[in-house]
Amino acid sequence: MAQLSDDCFAFGRPMMTVAETVALITSRVLPLAETESIPLCDADRRILARDLIASIALPPYANSAVDGYAMRGVDLPATGERGFQISGRVQAGSGERVTVAPGEAVRIFTGAPMPAGADTVFMQEDVRLGDSGAVILPAGLTIGANMRPVGEDVEAGAVVLKAGRRLRPQDIALAAALGEIRVDVSRRVRVAVFSTGNEIVAAGTPRGPTQLFDSNRFMLMAMLGRLGCAITDLGILPDDRAAITDTLSKASSAHDLILTSGGVSTGEADFVKDAVESAGSLVFWRVAIKPGRPVAMGVIDGTPFIGLPGNPVASFVTFAYIARPAILALSGAGPKPIVSTPVRTAFSYKKKKDRREYVRVNLRPAANGSVEAVKFPREGAGLLSSLVETDGLIELAEDVTQIQQGDIVGFIPYSSLY
Ligand code: AMP
Ligand code: MG
């Protein structure tokens, strides 16, 4: 387990910016030391634990990039056409040793090894077949055209994937191309999750007329799953300090992070902060972010705790901007800021200074080939449909107080948040 001291987040102020919060978390949370070797086919989204070094060059042998005719570049006609006698044929996968002699061409296909002596390939579309098996090449091709030299893609010995990278399908393809069958990754971050609230019940159990089915836990578990976490589902806890304290204490020993939703605000039934203080220590509980302001952070027996607000949209946004960096830090992922794409707003909007706001939007094509963001018509932090029916978030920085229709703003697709 990551062993944190109770006061490791101590310089947190009561109201912190998102950047301060993330900087604090990522500087204090220690990456898990344990790694595991896993089959490449299971490696998507896992965090690479060691640099991957190319044991071979790619391509490992010089080969043709096209279907055509291979010949020696020095034989190329400077002007006019020239006929070459076809002296052989080489297919992809052929182990036969083929040599091209001066003035000759070899019929070749994409991916086939270059014949000895050949350094240039004419595309079959660019040549004419002459009489008696000759091929007639036009002038104008540069020496080396359509030939893929050894190591053009990757040189042997190069570091191709750095430790800390969250593996993507194309990274896995590169490892496979190098002949790797397993990769070393950091072990999965073990996260215990529970919801809180007397009004929250689990789907599949009876729901009273003043109760809600739990949605946050499923959303958070799905997001955690995408981040490669091993999840312990601790269900739903009532608004009861003792019950929450007990669960926090028990969960801390076998987990790297405890993540909850609900009960971190200032209402009478918001016992999560109290419970964190009983079981360990609470370090801050307000982040200048909307939706989401009440976010609790704590340490319980050396294990970090993050308490997200109960409103589903607030839970979603604070997971993405506060819990996700903590999980990535635990898993040893290298820092990779979420980069927004500039788009034009199709709306005007006012906001409070000194807090960061995330506005739910859809993108649509606009005049002159640009893209514009259309705000979801309603703003409530409890509206799950607002997340379901939009493409992503517009990020409005702390110093912004209003945006006008037509302003350029930063758009973040949901897909980059988990
Ligand atoms: P809280 O943060 O506990 O004050 O909750 C804020 C709002 O979010 C309340 O309206 C809760 O009913 C709602 N809420 C809390 N937890 C959940 C949950 N797990 N699923 C859906 N809604 C929730
Ligand atoms: Mg509550």
Please report, for the domain that includes residue 81, its CATH number: 2.170.190.11
pLDDT tens digits, one per residue of 28-52: 899 999 999 999 999 999 999 999 9
Do you know the residue count of the chain? 418
Question: Is residue 13 predicted with pLDDT exceeding 80?
Answer: no
- CATH code, 387: 2.40.340.10
Question: Is residue 11 predicted with pLDDT exceeding 80?
Answer: no
| Angstrom distance (rounded) from CA 204 to CA 297 | 31
Residue 7 CA: distances (Å) to CA of 27, 302, 307, 318, 406: 13, 10, 17, 22, 46
**209 lies in a domain?**
yes
Residues 170 and 288 in one domain: no
**3 lies in a domain?**
no
Q: Whose CA is nearest to atom 5 of ligand 1?
A: 310
Q: What is the 214 CA–ligand 2 centroid distance (Å)?
A: 11
| Angstrom distance (rounded) from CA 414 to CA 358 | 12
Residues 193 and 131 in one domain: no
Residues 6+ apart with CB under 8 A from 306: 257, 258, 259, 260, 295, 296, 297, 298, 322, 323, 326
Q: Contact 137/82 with Cβ under 8 angstroms?
A: yes
Out of 87-96, 169-178, 266-275, 321-330, which region has the weakest mean confidence (pLDDT)? 266-275
**282 lies in a domain?**
yes
Residue 266 has a pLDDT of 83
Residues 319 and 349 in one domain: no
CB-based burial of residue 273 (10 Å sphere; 0-12 exposed, 13-18 middle, 19+ buried)? buried
Final residue before a domain boundary, out of 148, 177, 199? 148
Q: How many domains does the chain fold into?
A: 4
**322 lies in a domain?**
yes
Beta-strand relationship, 82-90 and 104-108? parallel
Apex 261 CA angle, 218 and 321, nearest 5: 90
Which residues in 262-311 belong to E strands, given as ranges? 281-286, 289-290, 294-300, 303-308
**11 lies in a domain?**
no
Tell me if 292 CB under 6 Å of ligand 1. Answer: no
Residues 28 and 127 in one domain: no
Residues 359 and 399 in one domain: yes
For residue 97, the SS3 value is coil
List the structure tokens of 261. 């939703």
Mean of pLDDT values over 88-116: 96
Apex 254 CA angle, 220 and 297, nearest 5: 50
Residues 269 and 200 in one domain: yes
Place of tokens 């896992």: 46
Q: What is the 173 CA–ligand 1 centroid distance (Å)?
A: 42
Question: Is residue 158 predicted with pLDDT exceeding 80?
Answer: yes
Beta-strand relationship, 104-108 and 52-53? unpaired
- What burial letters (b/e) apply to 11-24, b meaning 16+ CB within 10 Å? ebeeebbbebbbeb
Residue 286 has a pLDDT of 82
Residue 1 has a pLDDT of 55
Q: What is the 380 CA–ligand 1 centroid distance (Å)?
A: 13
Residues 198 and 324 in one domain: yes
List the structure tokens of 154. 């990757």
**308 lies in a domain?**
yes
**395 lies in a domain?**
yes
| Angstrom distance (rounded) from CA 287 to CA 67 | 60
Q: Which of 200, 213, 274 to mutate to test the pocket of ligand 1 (most atoms within 8 A of CB)?
A: 200
Residues 125 and 192 in one domain: no
Among all ligands shown, which has an atom nearest to the Cα of 307?
Answer: 1
| Angstrom distance (rounded) from CA 342 to CA 407 | 10
Residues 240 and 359 in one domain: no
Among all ligands shown, which has an atom nearest to the Cα of 292?
Answer: 1
Q: What is the 251 CA–ligand 1 centroid distance (Å)?
A: 22
List the structure tokens of 148. 């893929």
Mean of pLDDT values over 66-79: 92
Residues 349 and 402 in one domain: yes
List the structure tokens of 257. 């992070």
Residues 304 and 195 in one domain: yes
pLDDT tens digits, one per residue of 199-256: 999 999 999 999 999 999 999 999 999 999 999 999 999 999 999 999 999 999 999 9
Tell me if 212 CB under 6 Å of ligand 1. Answer: yes
pLDDT tens digits, one per residue of 183-202: 999 999 999 999 999 999 99
- CATH code, 177: 3.90.105.10
Mean of pLDDT values over 374-400: 97
Chain-wide mean pLDDT for the chain?
94
Tell me if 295 CB under 6 Å of ligand 1. Answer: no
Q: How confident is the model at residue 10 (pLDDT cuts 50, 70, 90)?
A: low
Residue 171 has a pLDDT of 98
Q: What is the 352 CA–ligand 1 centroid distance (Å)?
A: 24
Q: What is the 317 CA–ligand 2 centroid distance (Å)?
A: 17
Q: Whose CA is nearest to atom 14 of ligand 1?
A: 310
- Nearest residue to 250 (alpha-carbon basis) of 264, 262, 238, 232: 232
**1 lies in a domain?**
no
For residue 350, the SS3 value is strand
| Amino acid occupying residue 251 | A
Range of the domain at 142: 63-148
Tell me if 214 CB under 6 Å of ligand 1. Answer: yes
Q: How confident is the model at residue 2 (pLDDT cuts 50, 70, 90)?
A: low
Residues 51 and 161 in one domain: yes
Which atom of ligand 1 is nearest to 217's Cα? 19
| Angstrom distance (rounded) from CA 85 to CA 344 | 61
Q: What's this model's pTM, rounded to 2 decimal places? A: 0.92
